[in-house]
Amino acid sequence: MDYTFAEHADMLIIYGEVHYNGRAASRLYQERFLERHVPAHTLFERVNQRIRETGSVKITRPDNGVQRTVRTPELEEETSKTNTNGPTELDTFLPQDNSITNGVTKYKVTKGNDLEAANTEFDPFKNRQNDHPTTNLNTLTHLLKASLGTGILSMPAAFQAAGLALGIFSTILVSIICTHCAYILVTSAHELYKRAHKTKMSFADVAEEACLRGPKWARGFAGPIRCYAVIIARNFNYVIDYYVGYTTEIRVTIAALLVPIILLVYVPNLKYLAPVSMIANVFMGIGLGITFYYLVTDVPSISERNLVADISTYPVFFSITIFAIEAIGVVMPLENHMATPQHFVGLCGVLNQGMSGVTLVYMVIGFFGYLKYGDKVEGSITLNLPKEAFAAQIVNILIALAVYGTFGLQFYVICVAIAIAVPTIIPFVALIGAFCFSILGLMVPVAIEMLTFWDKGFGPFHWKIFKNIIVVAAGLLALIFGSKSAIQDIVYMYLGNGTIPKEQIIVGNLTLVGNFSDTTPSS
C-alpha cells in the first residue's frame, strides 16, 4: 500500500517514541490513528532506513489531507509546512534530543553508525537514581549472605550422593555454570538498559525486554526459600527438644516463625538490610567454624568413604548443589541498588569475588562433612553434632539466626505455608533445586542472552551456542532426574507402603519405618 508524506512522518515519529521497536510502533500507530491502514511492523524500519540514507521519503501518493483527518490541528500545521528555506525534511520529521513538539517526544538522528550509535549515547549508570545506593562492599555482603545460606548445610548429603572425588569436581563445575548464568543475566541486562533507555530492571523485566527486542518469533513470549523456614525451625527444635525432654512438632515451630519473619521483610531497602546481612554472615561464620572443628576431629580414613558414588544418586547431588550455590533470585535486585553497577560483573567484579569464596567453603564443608559422618550424614550437617554439647547447641542457634537474616533479601508468604506442608529438608531442597533453579537459574539466563545478542551474533564459530547447549543440558539433567528423585522421596515419606525401595531414598537419615510423621534423626 502507498503512504503519503505525512503518514511516513508519523511513522518515523512513533518509531522514535517506542525506541525503534517495530511491533510496538505498529500497535501505537493503530491506537493513535484509528481511521488509517496500519503499516506492517517491518515498514517502520524500512522508512527509517530510507530517510537516513537519502534524507527523504518517496511520496508515492498525493497528500490530499484525507489520510490526516484524525491528526491534531497543531500536528497538522507542523507537518504541512512547505517553507523551502526552513528545516529540511529530515530535520522536520525526525525529532531532536530533549525536545517536545506538539506532545511528541523527539529523538536524535545520528549519522554513520545508525541505531547502535544512538544507543551508546544513553548511559544507564549515570542516569540511575537510587535513594539509598549500596556500595560494592554492601553488595558483596548481601551476595555472600544469599549464597552462604541454607544450601551449605546440605552439602555433606550432596557429597554422599556423589562421592568425595566426584563431589569436588562436580561442585566446581556447578559453581562455574551457576556463576556464568548470573553473569550473562547481568551483562544482558546492561545491554538492554541502553536499548530500552532504562536504568534498572528486575529479572522478569530483563526477560520481557529480551523477548521484545530479540528476533521476531520471540516477541510473543513477551521461589527458592521455602526450605529456609524448615532449616530455621529444625535448628531451633534441635535445642528446644533437648531441654524440654520431648519432640516438638516442627510444623508448629515453622508457623510460629512467620511473625518475626514478616517483621524482618518490612525493612524497606537493601541499604538498611546491609547491617542485618553483616551480622548474619558473622553468625554463619562462627557456626561454620565450630562445625568445622567437629568435622576435622577424629576423621576416619578416606578409604572408608566412596570416592565416586553410584551414578543413580548423582542427580540428587546435582540438584542439591544447584540449590546451594545458585543465587539468581537476588542478582538483579543487588545490581539495581548498586551505586556502581558496572562493577558487579568483570573478571574481578563483585559477582566473581563472592562466588569464588562461596565455592571453596561449600567444597570444604561438603567434603569433610561426608568424610566424618559417611552414610549417617543428616540433611543439615548441624543436626549431626552431639545434641548434649553446649557448643553444638550454639551452632544450631547461630545458623538459625543467620538463615533468618536471609529472609529480608527474598521472601514470599507462601514459602512458610509450603514449608509447613513438607517439613523435611533433603527432598525439599532437591525438588526446589531441580525444578526451580534449573529453569530460572540456568535455562532462562541462557535464553535471555541468546535473545539479547541475536542480532550481534554468538562469537567466532558460534561458540556461545555450543556453550549454552551444555548449560541447558545440565539444567535438563537436574530438572528431570532431580525432580523425579525428590518427588519420589516426598511421596515415600508420606506413604510408607509405597513401592520405592528404601535404599534409594536419601532423606538425611530420617526415620522411614513406622510412623512417617516422625522426623527425628534415627540413632
Shared-domain flag, residues 263 and 158 = yes
Residues 6+ apart with CB under 8 A from 307: 163, 164, 165, 166
Same domain, 337 and 461: yes
Secondary structure letter of residue 454 according to DSSP = T
Q: When comparing pLDDT for 443 and 249, which is higher?
A: 443
Q: Is the pLDDT of residue 227 over 60?
A: no
Residues 151 and 204 occupy one common structural domain: yes
Is 462 a domain residue? Answer: yes
pLDDT of residue 517: 35
Residue 489 lies in a domain: yes
Residues 175, 114 within the same domain: no
CA distance 327 to 439: 13
Domain for residue 522, yes or no? no
Quick: pLDDT tens for 204-224: 788 888 877 776 666 555 533
In a shared domain, residues 117 and 261:
no
Q: Is the pLDDT of residue 5 over 80?
A: no
Mean pLDDT lowest among 12-26, 155-169, 440-454, 484-498: 484-498
- What is the total residue count of the chain? 523
| Nine cell digits for residue 171 | 561442585
More confident of the two residues 389 and 235: 389
CB atoms within 10 A of CB 99: 11
**Residue-range definition of the domain harbouring residue 332:** 126-223+247-277+301-376+418-504
Nine-digit cell at 33?
490513528
What is the mean predicted confidence (pLDDT) over 165-181? 90
| CB neighbour burial string for 405-430, b if at least 16 within 10 angstroms, e if fewer | bbbbbbbeeebbebbbebbbbbbbbb
In the block, which residue shows the cell 535473545? 451
> Are 270 and 350 members of one domain?
yes
Average pLDDT over residues 119-128: 71
Confidence of residue 368 (pLDDT cuts 50, 70, 90): very high
- 410, part of any domain: no
Q: Which residues contact 74 (CB under 8 A, 6 or more apart)?
A: 102
Whether 49 maps to a domain, the answer reads yes
Does this model's pTM top 0.75? My answer is no
Q: Cell 537419615 maps to which residue?
A: 509
Instruction: Determine the pLDDT at residue 172.
Output: 92
Question: Which residue, 350, 326, 349, 354, is CA-closest to 440?
Answer: 326
Is 103 in the same domain as 211?
no
Count of structural domains, the chain: 2
What is the per-residue pLDDT for 206? 84
DSSP 71: S
d(CA 336, CA 224): 20
- Same domain? For 350 and 466 the reply is yes
Cell of 490: 516426598
